[in-house]
């Protein structure tokens, strides 16, 4: 059963070392992410599953302790999924015989968020999803995730549209603001049906990387009776960033 969920954006710029001099611009977003993770901790889950967008070669499951790197963004910074420094999976001594496959960027950012808050409340696993996953597949994945433990929490990574301004990665698309507003409304209301109904083709055109992870959340939340709260909404750099907590 899903007992809580946190929804966070996944730009590498969330990591201050990557943002460098621009780091203060996302301080409010980082604080909102920390607040959302606090909701997960308060729910006392048996397991935390981190879901984030990934290119096809990096889709699939990742075990606790898997290494991630932000070296591709100009920073020699490594993270481990769900492990605080000096503590291995499950809270024991470190044993980093982790698989060679490296975390996708979204899960690396999630791992950084978890380490920043010293997450030690439940075992952690990761899952990379994305195109060409249809809504039905994402929803089914969410149902399967929550069927595996009595109390499951989700940390759902993903950005809204990348077409909110002329300087945005996808340039300006007049449809972007309306799309992001609907996602924000759905996250604020924990509206499972609205997330399930998101238009995958439109999301792809608007470069909204969160579409598949949000629909995994929707599948996991069916029948859970959770309420939502939108903690942050903005579009710096022309990309929609949303932070929400469901409990």
Chain position carrying tokens 């990379």: 128
Question: What secondary structure letter does DSSP report for 150?
Answer: S
pLDDT of residue 85: 42
The residue segments making up the domain with residue 141 are: 2-246
Q: Note whether 120 and 65 are within 8 A (CB).
A: no
pLDDT of residue 86: 41
Where b means 16+ CB within 10 Å and e means fewer, 192-205 reads bebbbebebebbeb
CATH number of the domain enclosing 147: 3.40.830.10
Instruction: Name the domain count of the chain.
Output: 1
Selection from 32, 40, 24 nearest residue 122 by Cα = 40
pLDDT of residue 74: 86
Per-block mean pLDDT, blocks of 10 residues, the chain (247 long): 98 94 93 98 97 96 95 90 56 49 96 95 96 96 96 98 97 98 98 98 98 98 98 97 98
Q: Note whether 67 and 78 are within 8 A (CB).
A: yes
Of the CA atoms within 13 Å of residue 79, those in its CB half-sphere come to: 26
pLDDT of residue 90: 47
3 state SS of 170: coil
E strands in 103-166:
124-129, 152-157
**Is the pTM here over 0.95, yes or no?**
no
The length of the chain in residues reads 247
pLDDT of residue 21: 87
The whole-angstrom separation of Cα 68 and Cα 114 is: 13
Give Cα 50 distance to the centre of its chain.
Answer: 6
pLDDT of residue 64: 95
Where b means 16+ CB within 10 Å and e means fewer, 54-72 reads beeebbeebebbbbbebee
The whole-angstrom separation of Cα 98 and Cα 244 is: 31
pLDDT of residue 215: 98
């Amino acid at each position: 059963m899903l007992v809580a969920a946190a929804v966070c954006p996944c730009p590498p710029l969330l990591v201050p070392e990557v943002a460098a001099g621009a780091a203060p611009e996302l301080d409010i977003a980082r604080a909102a992410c920390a607040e959302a993770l606090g909701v997960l901790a308060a729910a006392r889950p048996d397991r935390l599953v981190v879901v984030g967008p990934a290119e096809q070669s990096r889709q699939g499951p990742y075990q606790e302790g898997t290494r991630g790197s932000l070296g591709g963004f100009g920073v020699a910074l490594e993270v481990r999924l769900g492990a605080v420094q000096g503590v291995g999976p499950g809270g024991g001594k470190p044993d980093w015989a982790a698989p060679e496959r490296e975390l996708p960027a979204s899960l690396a950012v999630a791992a950084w968020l978890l380490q920043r808050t010293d997450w030690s409340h439940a075992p952690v696993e990761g899952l990379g999803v994305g195109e060409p996953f249809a809504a039905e597949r994402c929803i089914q994945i969410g149902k399967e995730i929550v069927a595996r433990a009595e109390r499951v929490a989700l940390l759902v990574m993903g950005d809204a549209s990348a077409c909110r301004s002329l300087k945005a990665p996808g340039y300006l698309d007049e449809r972007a603001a309306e799309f992001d507003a609907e996602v924000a409304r759905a996250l604020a209301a924990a509206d499972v049906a609205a997330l399930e109904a998101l238009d995958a083709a439109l999301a792809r055109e608007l470069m909204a990387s969160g579409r598949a992870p949000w629909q995994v959340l929707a599948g996991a939340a069916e029948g859970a009776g959770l309420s939502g709260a939108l903690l942050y909404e903005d579009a710096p750099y022309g990309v929609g960033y949303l932070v929400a907590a469901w409990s």
